[in-house]
Structures are given as C-alpha cells and as structure tokens.
Amino acid sequence: MNEKSAAGWIKKVESDLKLGKVSITSDDPSTDGICFYMQQCAEKYLKAFLTFNGKEIEKTHDIAKLINECSKVNKGFNSLFEFGVTELTDYAVESRYDILFFPSEDEAKDSIEIAEKVKKFFLTKLIEQGYKDR
C-alpha cells in the first residue's frame, strides 16, 4: 500500500473539486473549466486508488480504462459505470482545446454531481482497505 502517494492524489483532487464548486456559484460560471476539473477529479480518484494498491498508472484520461484497471483490484469499481462517470472523459481534452466547446450550466452541475459520487464511492472503498481518512 502506498498511503502517502494516495494522500497526495487526494489533496490534488480536492483542490480540483473546490474549483468547480466555487466556480458554479458565480454569475457567469466557466462551464468548460468546471467540466474539465470534474473530469480530473474522477481521473485522479481512480489513479489514487491504483496508487494506494501499488499499481502502475498509465498516462491516460480515459475514465473507462481506469475503472477497468481499478476493477482488477476491486470488482465493485464496475458499479461506477452506472454513475455516468465515463461521460466525463470527453471533458479532458475537448473542454481545454475546442474553442467552440462550452457546456451548459446544467452539464457543469451534472459533472460536479458525478465527481461527488465518485468521491464518495472512492473514499468508501479506500477506507475499507485500511486507508486512514485525514
């Protein structure tokens, strides 16, 4: 187990989540940025789980691929597919580089909701494996 590295991932992802939650409350939220950061949240939570379990992390933004890797350690991760989390994958690149891509506020709110579900699931699974929530 690599608890220290997992804690580092968690600290980074909490920062991403905070950015999205604060931005959505503004008068003119940066929906592309919010969706990007929520994709990053899901990606980093999955990578934190892999790190905690001593698995190598491939450089990828593909949420489905990361869920499949996590499922090799804990089959319960397959249930993440039910949350619509894989829909966040497109935000990793499209929201950053497509100059015409601006998701709606509803899409941004949905992305935050999905990231929160991943967070709750992830923390439950990590604590089950002995992680000490700090």
Task: Report the 10 Å Cβ neighbour count for 22.
Answer: 11
In a domain, 24, yes or no: yes
pLDDT at 1: 57
Provide the number of structural domains found in the chain: 1
Separation of alpha carbons 29 and 38, rounded Å: 14
Does residue 133 form part of some domain? no
pTM of the entire predicted model: 0.90
Is 24:108 a contact under the CB 8 Å cutoff? yes
Give the Cα separation of 126 and 120 in Å (integer). Answer: 10
Report if residue 39 sits inside a domain.
yes
pLDDT along the chain (134 residues), means of 10: 79 93 95 94 94 90 96 95 92 76 93 95 90 68
Which residue segment(s) compose the domain that 102 sits in?
A: 3-128
Are 128 and 49 in contact by the 8 Å Cβ rule? The answer is no
Instruction: Say how many CA atoms lie within 13 Å of 123 toward its Cβ.
Output: 13
Burial 66-97 (b: 16+ CB within 10 A, else e): bbebbeebeeebeebeebebbbbbbbbebbee
- pLDDT for residue 58: 85
Domain membership of residue 134 (yes or no) is no
Q: The domain that contains 86 carries what CATH number?
A: 1.20.120.330
- What confidence score (pLDDT) does residue 134 get? 54
**Tokens for 110?**
């949905």
What's the pLDDT score for residue 133? Answer: 62
The answer to the question of residue 16 being in a domain is: yes
